[in-house]
Amino acid sequence: MRLTPAGPEDLEAIAALVNGAYRGTDSVRGWTNEADYIDGSRTSVEALQEDLSRPDGTLLTVRDGPEGRLTGCVWLESSVDGAWYLGMLTVRPDLQAQGAGRRLLEAAEAYAAGQGARRIRMTVVSLRESLIAWYRRRGYEPTGETEPFPYDDERFGTPRFGGLEFIVMEKTLDSSAG
């Protein structure tokens, strides 16, 4: 799977892909999304522009050909202690449940390992049991840490109820990866 760093010209399509997949607003609904918990958008062109300007982050995209339509994306954030953050892992809903997510995650891990990452950390809404199980099958384990949902920051959407939180999951990368 070929990962390509996103440029400013990709951001509108990435925002549409991510919002459709996370909020279940795509015409085809994927097997996992946040529609039952959170309304509104997961991201915006403005938020992605901020991400792109960060020196410690990379927004990677997958297409169905060199100039083809966007089929997935993932965000990686480097860290001096070798524990990189992975977020916004997204596969176009009509292509889900066919192994693309697993391959995208593996490709992102290899990309990070190639840049010196030794571990990958991520946060998942604690209610998303089937997604947490999916990450466990990919080698991620809860660290026991939790993080509060940013209720005061509308950029991440509008939660339908109180008490949402993230759990932190982590995986140690195979030193031969990358």
Ligand X SMILES: CC(C)(COP(=O)(O)OP(=O)(O)OC[C@H]1O[C@@H](n2cnc3c(N)ncnc32)[C@H](O)[C@@H]1OP(=O)(O)O)[C@@H](O)C(=O)NCCC(=O)NCCS
DSSP one-letter string for 117-177: --EEEEEEETT-HHHHHHHHHTT-EEEEEEEE--TT-GGG-EESSS--EEEEEEEEPPTT-
Of 116 and 141, which CB lies nearer to ligand X in the complex structure? 141
CB of 14 to ligand X, least distance (A): 12
158: phi > 0 → left, psi -120 to 50 → alpha, else beta; which?
A: beta
Which one, 31 or 151, has the nearer CB to ligand X?
Answer: 31
Closest distance to ligand X from the beta carbon of 119 (Å): 17
Closer of 74 and 113 to ligand X (Cβ): 74
List residues bridging with 147 in a β-sheet.
166
Closer to ligand X by CB, 91 or 175: give it.
91
Residues that bind ligand X (CB under 6 A): 21-22, 30-33, 89-91, 96-102, 124, 130-131, 134, 137
Q: Which two tokens stand for residue 137?
A: 């099958």
Alpha-carbon span 3 to 104, nearest angstrom: 8
* Least distance (Å) between residue 19 CB and ligand X: 10
Give the nearest distance from C-beta 124 to ligand X in angstroms: 5
